[in-house]
Amino acid sequence: MKEVQTLYYSADHKLLDGNLLEGQAEGYGSDDDHIQFVQKKTPRENDLKQISSSSSGSLSPNAAVQSPKHEWKIVASEKISNNTYLCLAVLDGVFCVIFLHGRNSPQNSPTSTPRLMKSLSFEIQPGDLIEKPMSPMQYARSGLGTAELGNKLIAAGGYNREECLRTVECYDPRKDCWTFVAPMRTPRARFQMAVLMGQLYVVGGSNGHSDDLSCGEMYDPEIDDWTPVPELRTNRCNAGVCALNGKLYIVGGSDPYAKSWTSCASLNIRRHQSAVCELGGHLYIIGGAESWNCLNSVERYNPENNTWTLIAPMNVARRGAGVAVLDGKLFVGGGFDGSRAVSCVEMYDPAKNEWKMMGSMTIPRSNAGFATVANTIYAVGGFDGNEFLNTVEVYNPESNEWSPYTKIYKF
């Protein structure tokens, strides 16, 4: 980066040093007008020192080089078809590759253009498929609970650097928007939630002041309100919650009709901050930590004989991971591996009893929420090792890639 200040995209699909165009005016283009270079290289640090030494007066770096502005600029573009251009661009300070569809040839980008599409005479036509960043949550959340309810994504509670939250947000994938629903009665984080008989259950967790909670509550979408449920026999934080065969399990079982909690068989390995999920009539508890040692072990619960069985371990030991089910397989992603937050994702095939590494998320996410909505896996919030997150990304099984963008049709 000390040597190359500006790059341009050549016709043979290479990024070349902008120094090669020294002295060329802005708007340099090839003979066939396929490549258009619209930004000259910036002064190098060595050049500034030479100017300073040859000048009778002093020259401060700030006087010669202004602080970089967050502008929208086309760096280079190549004509792909009659109305399609592949562009290298700087969008709000981020170097990006974008595709643009337009009626006319691209014009030279002005030095500052907050409305890129208009300045380049590009127009989005009705019916065009475009990508845009997915709308973030209103609150950054880590240790939150997520679930699918009515083809929408529910994100509840969690914590950030300031407080433990009781707010609940609802994401509609069709509209790409978040709305608030009734808040929980108790602020809580480090919990999981499950849907049973069309209602949402949250149990245990931490309220930010005491380590563990025994209380729980149920959300009824018809009245948009939460009501208490019977308390657990013991306080539990970082426990897994899952619905299976008409019962609610919190590494133990409950009978919602009797409104009481009963004990189930104990796990083979003590663990907390595990990912819990139901698949094929069985309950899975994945990873977590024993004391503070991260685990890659996985156990499967059979409700018919009330037994836990160890199955194939994950490739990566992790606690605070997210889990979701898609096409009869488990997807486990993110978490903390003992030293850092991770972005890697792996898939479990119950027919083969094996784990396979999949495409990683775009950023590390520990204590994020995972949920499947309309056959799409969403990763929500979490902690990347530096910041609490309010962002969302989705998994595309066809490309085996995660993306923070959503595709919409312009009408």
Measured between alpha carbons, how far apart are the two ends of the chain, in Å? Answer: 42
Q: What is the pTM assigned to this prediction?
A: 0.68
Mean pLDDT of the residues in the chain = 79
Task: State whether residue 285 is helix, strand or coil.
Answer: strand
Q: Examine the pLDDT at 106 and tell me if it is beyond 50.
A: no
- Do residues 120 and 100 make contact, with C-beta atoms less than 8 angstroms apart? yes
> Comparing 40-54, 146-160, 188-202, 381-395, which segment has the lowest mean pLDDT?
40-54
Q: Examine the pLDDT at 1 and tell me if it is beyond 60.
A: no
CA 246 vs. chain centroid, Å, equals 31
Per-residue pLDDT tens for 346-367? Answer: 999 999 999 999 999 999 999 9
- DSSP output for 233-293: SS-BSS---EEETTEEESSSEEETTTTEEE--PPPSS--BS-EEEEETTEEEEE--EETTE
pLDDT at 12: 62
> Comparing 18-27, 62-71, 226-235, which segment has the lowest mean pLDDT?
62-71
Q: Examine the pLDDT at 188 and tell me if it is beyond 70.
A: yes
Q: Examine the pLDDT at 108 and tell me if it is beyond 50.
A: no
For the record, the structure tokens of 169 come out as 């947000």
The DSSP code for 331 is E
d(CA 344, CA 362): 9
d(CA 298, CA 287): 6
pLDDT at 13: 59
Mean pLDDT of 334-348: 97
Q: Examine the pLDDT at 335 and tell me if it is beyond 90.
A: yes
Model confidence band, residue 226 (pLDDT cutoffs 50, 70, 90): very high
The DSSP code for 54 is H
Q: Examine the pLDDT at 319 and tell me if it is beyond 90.
A: yes
Q: How many CB atoms lie within 10 A of CB 401?
A: 15
pLDDT at 40: 39
Burial 166-179 (b: 16+ CB within 10 A, else e): bbbbbbebeeeebe
What domains does the chain contain, in order, with CATH numbers?
7-123 (no CATH), 145-409 (2.120.10.80)
pLDDT at 18: 59
Helix (H) or strand (E) holding 52: helix 45-54
For the record, the structure tokens of 408 come out as 């919409």
Mean pLDDT of 162-179: 94
pLDDT at 14: 62
Mean pLDDT of 1-28: 53
pLDDT at 310: 98
Q: Examine the pLDDT at 248 and tell me if it is beyond 50.
A: yes
pLDDT at 88: 82
Q: Which of 315, 276, 314, 309 is nearest to 145 (CA)?
A: 276
Percent of the chain's residues with pLDDT above 70: 70
Model confidence band, residue 304 (pLDDT cutoffs 50, 70, 90): very high
